[in-house]
Amino acid sequence: MLASHGRYDYRPIKGRPLYDWPNGKRLAVYVALNVEVFPFGYGMGPDLNLRQPEPDIPNYTWRDWGNRVGIWRLLDLFDEFAMPLTVNLNSAIYDQCPQIARALRERGAEIVGHGRSNAERQAEMDEATERGMIGEVTARIQREEGKPPAGWMGPWVNETHVTPDLLREAGYSYVMDWAMDEQPVWLKTRAGPLLSVPYARPTNDITALHGAKVAPALWGDMLIDQFDEMLRQSEDEPLVFNLSLHPFLVGHAFRLKHLRRAVMHIAARRERVWTARAGDIAAHVMALPVGVVV
């Protein structure tokens, strides 16, 4: 027998109970911005430039550019098209870049817990340390936003074997780390069910632009093709389409141009889709009759 996570059972997407998103829509669309901070001279972070001995000025400042410039370009873009935002936020942003937190709050963005910074990985923590980190992040977001976050994405999309249990015990209702489906799926935890909300990996800007070195124009085509085909597939079952973005990558003008093209394409078809935040998608699923989503 293969080792199993025990979090969900195998169920093909065909043959599941059908349901709609609000107003009879079948494709839910949400934008996830990953707003992250990295300590100077620490060494952890994506190698956007050839890694240098610490202090690695090229890589540190490239990432910092995302918070000084890139995020503001993205906010302007999504303001232009009135797109709601989900933000996976390192809680250290409140100290390092408070203007970003204020701008997100003014726009009604949903804040998702995303660790303290992206210079740590949960998989390297023991259970007590991980529980403490989740509690610290949750308390800080609650203090700043007036309510705790409903959703979580681990720094580096990283978990231990008990992360879903700890999240459910800390009051979280959904997680974005698991990438096994195009519909929300309930995960089993020792404290009760925790919803997994789909978060795109193949079209993620880190995966495509940085990892696979896809040209920006081709990436824009990929986003449009993914959206168009999922819109067609959603005639048969409800689906979730996600734009997952990092300001230090896609905020640059030569990439933003092609993201703008994809967002314009989606916005022109808004009457056929539900544009929402990840938490809105989770809340809709939680309100469905028991057994519709498993």
Query: What's the pLDDT at 263?
Result: 98
The overall average pLDDT reported for the chain is 96
Q: Which residue do the tokens 């870049």 mark?
A: 97
| DSSP character string of 76-87 | HHHHHTT--EEE
pLDDT at 43 over 80: no
pLDDT at 117 over 90: yes
Rounded (5°) CA angle 130-131-136 = 95
| CA distance linking residue 187 with residue 6, whole number of Å | 9
Query: What's the pLDDT at 58?
Result: 87
CATH number of the structural domain 22-286: 3.20.20.370
- pTM, to two decimals: 0.96
What are the domain boundaries of the chain?
Answer: 22-286
Gyration radius (Cα) of the chain, Å? 19
Share of the chain above pLDDT 90, in %: 93
pLDDT at 106 over 90: yes
